[in-house]
Amino acid sequence: MAEPDDEKREPAEPKPCMPCSGSGKVTSNAGGDPHEVDCPWCEGGGLTIPDHDAQAARRD
């Protein structure tokens, strides 16, 4: 059963993505030359996505 105070709480604010430090970009060495790509953990948004699977897009 929910406590009365639980209904008054604001949702937690999103936290900066740790792998990209909130920039939304990471350096990839795929293909041999380093280049910047959208961070797969935050999808380029710079904020943590709860329960997000960064490798899901690359699975068959």
Non-local (6+) Cβ contacts of 27 within 8 A are 34, 35, 36, 37
Q: What is the pTM of this model?
A: 0.70
Is the predicted pLDDT of residue 5 greater than 90, yes or no?
no
Question: What pLDDT was estimated at residue 56?
Answer: 85
**Structure tokens of 19?**
């792998």
Question: What pLDDT was estimated at residue 1?
Answer: 57
Give me the mean pLDDT over the 10-28 stretch.
91
Domain ranges of the chain: 11-55
Give me the mean pLDDT over the 27-34 stretch.
92
Question: What pLDDT was estimated at residue 13?
Answer: 84
Cβ neighbours of 40 (radius 10 Å): 18
User: Kind of pairing, strands 35-38 and 25-28?
Assistant: antiparallel
Cα distances from 56 to residues 33, 34, 41, 42, in angstroms, run 24, 23, 10, 13
Question: What pLDDT was estimated at residue 33?
Answer: 93
